[in-house]
Chains A and B, each alone.
Chain A
Amino acid sequence: MAAFETLYRRHKDPLWRYLLRGADDREACNEMFQDVWSGVVRGRGSWEPRARFTTWLYTLAHNRLVDYYRLRKLATAPLEEADDVVGPEHESPDAIARNAQLRQRLLDTLAQLPQEQREAFLLKEEGGLSLEEIGQATGVGRETVKSRLRYALAKLRQELSDVWP
């Protein structure tokens, strides 16, 4: 139990953020979060030490997210459709609020990304997974992951050009 608790403490926040950004629904995120950890506990016998725990954890989370998308029938919009991103309209001259504003812009832009690109970005940023591990968790090849990340970064850079030279 102590080992599980250690693992949980280490991974809970990134995983929760990954699910929250993926689902964009706090209630659904909390439910999925519990499901994923329940899966970890029940499937502890099937986990093989040669696989990295983080990869396995995010594979479970990815599958849970996919189920969620299916239930919600969320269309995975192609990149072309996501091109016309509404620019930030809530700029404030207040320097104190700049961080909060930046955060919101980042989240808005991320939310505009196609689901596959957003997921690749989150798996890298929150899970700390490598290209191969992201591919393993999402069931695609390394080059596909690279391509998704390239487009995600290009979009983020485009939307945050004032703070991202």
Chain B
Amino acid sequence: MSGPERKAPDDKLLEDFLEGRSPASRAWREAMRGESAPPELDDAVLGMAREEIKTAAARPASRDRFRDRRWPFALAAVLVLSFSTLLTIVQDPVAHKDAMMVAPDVVPTEAVILPEAAAPVAAAEVQAEAQQRQAFEAERKSMQAQRRMEDRPAKPSSAPAAADAAPSPGSYADAVQEPAASAASAGAEAEALSAPAPAAAPAVPPPPPAPVMEESREAAPAELKAAPAAELRRRVLSSDSLGAAKLKRESAVPEAALAELERIRRMLVEGREDEARRALEAWRKDWPERPVPADLQRLLD
């Protein structure tokens, strides 16, 4: 409407006008003097007002009554709702858990068993495996401190790898490449470290009898026949709930013993069977009470 580029009118003019001193105001008042609303309008408006007020007085004041009582109504509604909500929370355990933000109970999911593995393997083997693990747990605490003290100075090359055998893929890669690196040049070590992770870092323990990692999936059923229990265990443990249970159990087993077993398995994967056999025999000497895992039993046969 009024562009800023236009020249600004005089502020004095506005001030005078606002204070009623402007000639425009005087002229306006002079011009409008005596001009008033027609009398018939007065009659119409006043008559309408009288009628309206009369009607309002005769009308039941239901709306006004509600308006007066709206705060008590609102308060009562809030109280009723709060009480009923509290009652629900107290009486309904599910609602109680929701209200208290309690984590739901962990329900173990069904073990995922692939059809080709489920057929040859009985559930008893899984159970036996679990019992084996539990036996590991029983002696874990007593052995752990002693084993750490003995193991590290006694095994200069394998102990660091065992200590670092945490589930991190990077550390797996380091551990796998470590023996090779000791024999190879520094350049080969760097190459191995920069190699893609899948070849060097399996996230789960590999199937024991597999001679090479790159073996095709078509060969898997044959391997399963050779070591069905281990394969079943691997697949069972890959399900969520049992995976969590596995983590819990393994944390209870002496770390050094487990790490050593993992190292032996990796030797098998890399084809160093003699070295693995020797390591397993040493392992048996170190932990004579421990049963040899089923997948490694064939090394001793």
Q: In the complex, which of the residues A37, A80, A125 contacts B49, with contact meaning CB atoms closer than 8 Å?
A: A37
Given contacts A34-B48, A99-B30, A106-B28, 12 further A-B contacts (CB under 8 A): A4-B53, A16-B37, A79-B2, A99-B31, A102-B30, A130-B18, A149-B17, A150-B8, A150-B9, A150-B10, A150-B13, A154-B13
The CB with the most chain A CB atoms within 10 A, among B17, B18, B31, B37, is that of B37
Chain B residues near A76: list those with CB within 8 A: 1
Main secondary structure of the interface of B (DSSP, over half): helix
Q: Give 13 CB contacts A-B under 8 Å.
A: A8-B45, A8-B49, A12-B45, A16-B41, A34-B41, A34-B44, A37-B49, A76-B1, A99-B30, A147-B2, A149-B18, A154-B10, A154-B13
Report yes or no: A8 in contact with B46, Cβ–Cβ below 8 A.
yes
Asked whether A103 is an interface residue with its Cβ less than 8 Å from the other chain, the reply is yes
The 5 residue pairs across chains A and B that have the minimum distance between CB atoms: A103-B31, A16-B37, A154-B9, A150-B9, A13-B36
Report yes or no: A33 in contact with B23, Cβ–Cβ below 8 A.
no
Asked whether B168 is an interface residue with its Cβ less than 8 Å from the other chain, the reply is no
Report yes or no: A4 in contact with B37, Cβ–Cβ below 8 A.
no
Is the interface on chain A under 10, 10 to 19, 20 to 34, or 35 or more residues?
35 or more
Interface residue ranges of A116-157 to B (CB < 8 Å):
116, 124-126, 130-131, 146-151, 153-154, 156-157
Is the interface on chain B under 10, 10 to 19, 20 to 34, or 35 or more residues?
35 or more
Interface residue ranges of B1-55 to A (CB < 8 Å):
1-3, 6, 8-11, 13-14, 17-18, 22-25, 27-32, 35-38, 41-42, 44-46, 48-50, 52-53
**Interface mask (A70-84 → B, CB under 8 Å = 1, otherwise 0):** 000000101110000
**Chain A's nearest CB lies how many Å from the CB of B5?**
10
Report yes or no: A30 in contact with B46, Cβ–Cβ below 8 A.
no
**Chain A's nearest CB lies how many Å from the CB of B105?**
57
